[in-house]
Chains A and B, each alone.
Chain A
């Protein structure tokens, strides 16, 4: 891993390890419309637009690359009824994502995988749709 990449990974792991406090949850709700603990800029409205354009529905298999604490994949599973695999490098974020899907009652339709986007451990055509937000920036 390049030094800059390693530093970025370390900072994200540190942020995720802190969890989502009441103040952060309030900030997220006011700014993005959800309290999933997003570290990006995708709003609830934009997540909904992605779901609409992708035609997500129950039974669809969605992969969320770079999900962080589960945004927007966990939200899309809850609102569309699709199945979701939440993937990212920092395990700390996936711990929160797993707690979130438990809280939202979508645990049976979700799973979390620690993986880097360049080497995803899935077979070809494992998913009906893929989302990634604020990853390539």
Chain B
């Protein structure tokens, strides 16, 4: 969910959830980002035309930065399932 995954289980338990499961999907996230970048570049013209000038290129750049952060272990992603 973000870089402070330690906080989220605390948030859930403070909201009254008793059982909290955490599933790390960082590897999935990395491959999904890479897939998005690969296909977005291939479809680039058709996608960029839909947005204000520069927005699509900006998004590509942001996601490259995110991909690098994941690859460096700076960013993780998780699914959290909580029950009362």
Contact = CB atoms under 8 A, between A and B. Distances in A.
Interface of A: 18, 21-24, 26-27, 30-32, 41, 43, 45-46, 49-50, 53-54, 134, 136-137
Given A27-B36, A31-B39, A43-B32, A49 B50 contact: no
A10 to B, nearest CB: 12
Contacts of A137: 1-2
Interface in B2-41: 2, 8, 21, 23, 25, 28-29, 32-33, 35-36, 39-40
A33 to B, nearest CB: 10
A22 B36 CA distance: 16
Given A50-B79, A50-B81, A136-B8, A41 B32 contact: yes
Which A-B residue pairs are the 5 nearest by beta carbons?
A23-B46, A137-B2, A53-B81, A31-B36, A30-B39
What DSSP secondary structure best describes chain A's contact surface?
A: helix
Given A30-B35, A137-B2, A21 B46 contact: yes
Interface residues of B, number: 22
Given A30-B35, A136-B1, A46 B47 contact: no
B31 to A, nearest CB: 9
Contacts of B1: 134, 136-137
A43 B28 contact: yes
Contact of A31 (B23, B32, B51): B32
